[in-house]
Amino acid sequence: MDVHEKRIALVDDYLDRAYLVDEVADYYSGRTVLVTGGAGAIGSNLVIALSGLVGDNGKVLVLDNLSAIKTRDPWNITPLPNVMFVLGDVRSDVDLKRVFKEEPSIVFHLAAFFANQNSIDYSETSAEVDVIGQIKLLEYSKISGLEKFIYASSGCAIYGAYPELPIKEEFISMHLTTPYQINKMTGEMYCNFYNHHYGLPTVNCRFFNSYGPGEVPGQYRNVIPNFIYWAMKGYSLPVTGTGEETRDFTYVLDLVQGLIKAAFYSTAVGENFNLASGKELKIRDLITKVNEATDNKADVVFKERRKWDTKPRLLASIDKARQLIGYEPVVDFEEGFQRNIEWFRDNWEKIEAVADFPPGMSSAVRGVKGICSAGARS
Ligand SMILES: NC(=O)c1ccc[n+]([C@@H]2O[C@H](COP(=O)([O-])OP(=O)(O)OC[C@H]3O[C@@H](n4cnc5c(N)ncnc54)[C@H](O)[C@@H]3O)[C@@H](O)[C@H]2O)c1
């Protein structure tokens, strides 16, 4: 099996285990759906799943400007006959007209200027993409009479600095610490506005700490791909804090399950809910797993906590998603992590070519010696 066939098999196997009722296949069959950000970490998995669900008579449109993988080669998109890739920008009327001409009935809006540190370094672009781009998309969705608008919100972002655990949806915080967090929250509020004012059927899905096949490492990316990447190169893993911090790491295909169900169940319209694993993992335990899996012997490096990174623990309640859409995570961390490592090994050359760590630069490790410099294997 080549790398693309492997990813398709992984998604097919997952969907067999995802508690999808038979009506889900009927609902999607023959549809045209649009995935913004479909070349990204989560979108590239969603596109494979939707391609199977819409079938030969349907179409999956992908609108992505490829800014996340920093290449014109969309290698992260699995070539499939019913997937149409449009290289374009959610801020561009020309590009939006191009995709809405295909008359999608569902939009999964995943494109975003990812993530916290990136939004601090480029706060205007963050707002342009995540706020203005989203308003434009909502406008086109409204005009076209769209059936469902599914928004990839962020539970890690919008609950602010000190939420009570496990985090429930009614918790609201004004203590947001980065432009990304503010913009993701604003995105939810615009969905609510379009739902309330125009009757556009919107759904806010609040993801927590995605990991799995499809996410390339980089200075602005998540901890798991970066740890795997550095460990595979034999580098020290940097901890920005004590290592006792926890995160609710969620396997990417569990998020895909949540998105598929969010569009299908009418109970989800006008709602917001967490999509997470509902389990905590300590960063120091994550490090042990990464170093063991990659046979990395380098020591851990402790760094100061980043100013915006205020959450010592993250754990989501997934009761509301269970109740509203029958969401149920099916892949535990051991299995998901194994799939992630395999994907890195299978795609190592491509990943190494696009891993984006300018010399001395990483949002997690600015100034740590041994990271981002060649020959630091210890
Ligand atoms: N990864 C996580 O842990 C996580 C957690 C919570 C929420 N989310 C949200 O889920 C969504 C997907 O996240 P991801 O991890 O797949 O991110 P990602 O960066 O891998 O994917 C986003 C995609 O959007 C594209 N994009 C960026 N700006 C664009 C623009 N102006 N026009 C068109 N395309 C553009 C990028 O090229 C990329 O392919 C995002 O909205 C993110 O905020 C992610």
Amino acid 296: pLDDT: 98
How far does residue 32's CA lie from ligand 1's centre (Å)? 21
Q: Tokens 């990464």 sit at which residue? A: 290
Ligand 1 atom with least separation from CA of 133: 31
The token pair that represents 32 in the structure block: 């045209």
In a domain, 289, yes or no: no
Amino acid 71: pLDDT: 77
Cα(350)–Cα(77) distance, integer angstroms: 13
Cα(356)–Cα(348) distance, integer angstroms: 14
In a domain, 361, yes or no: no
In a domain, 254, yes or no: yes
Amino acid 124: pLDDT: 98
- 110, 151, 220: residue to mutate for ligand 1 pocket, most atoms within 8 A of CB: 110
Amino acid 360: pLDDT: 55
Structural domain count of the chain? 1
How far does residue 37's CA lie from ligand 1's centre (Å)? 6
| CATH code, 260 | 3.40.50.720
The residue nearest atom 39 of ligand 1, judged by CA position, is 40
Cα(335)–Cα(97) distance, integer angstroms: 41
How far does residue 375's CA lie from ligand 1's centre (Å)? 32
Buried b (16+ CB within 10 A) or exposed e, 289-322: bbbebbebebeebeeeebebbebeebbbbbebbe
254 lines ligand 1 (CB under 6 A): no
Amino acid 364: pLDDT: 58
In a domain, 159, yes or no: yes
Q: Mean pLDDT by 10-residue block, N- to C-terminus, for the chain (378 residues)?
A: 97 97 97 98 98 98 92 88 97 98 99 97 98 98 98 97 94 95 98 98 98 96 97 96 97 99 98 98 98 97 93 96 98 98 97 84 49 31
How far does residue 43's CA lie from ligand 1's centre (Å)? 8
40 lines ligand 1 (CB under 6 A): yes
pTM for the whole thing? Answer: 0.96
How far does residue 68's CA lie from ligand 1's centre (Å)? 8
In a domain, 306, yes or no: no
The identity of residue 107, as a single letter, is: V
How far does residue 29's CA lie from ligand 1's centre (Å)? 26
Label each residue of the chain as H, E or C: CCHHHHHHHHHHHHHHCCCCCHHHHHHHCCCEEEEECCCCCCHHHHHHHHHHHHCCCCEEEEEECCCCCCCCCCCCCCCCCCEEEEECCCCCHHHHHHHHCCCCCEEEECCCCCCHHHHHHCHHHHHHHHHHHHHHHHHHHHHCCCCEEEEEEEHHHHCCCCCCCCECCCCCCCCCCCHHHHHHHHHHHHHHHHHHHHCCCEEEEEECCEECCCCCCECCCCHHHHHHHHHHCCCCCEEECCCCCEECCEEHHHHHHHHHHHHHCHHHCCCEEEECCCCCEEHHHHHHHHHHHHCCCCCCEEECCCCCCCCCCCCECCHHHHHHHCCCCCCCHHHHHHHHHHHHHHCHHHHHHHCECCCCCCCCCCCCCCCCCCCCCC
Amino acid 373: pLDDT: 32
Amino acid 162: pLDDT: 84
In a domain, 100, yes or no: yes
The residue nearest atom 8 of ligand 1, judged by CA position, is 154
In a domain, 321, yes or no: yes
The dihedral through the CA atoms of 308, 310, 312, 317 has a sign that is negative
Amino acid 358: pLDDT: 79
Cα(378)–Cα(374) distance, integer angstroms: 12
Identify the domain containing residue 168 by its residue range: 3-211+250-277+316-332
In a domain, 101, yes or no: yes
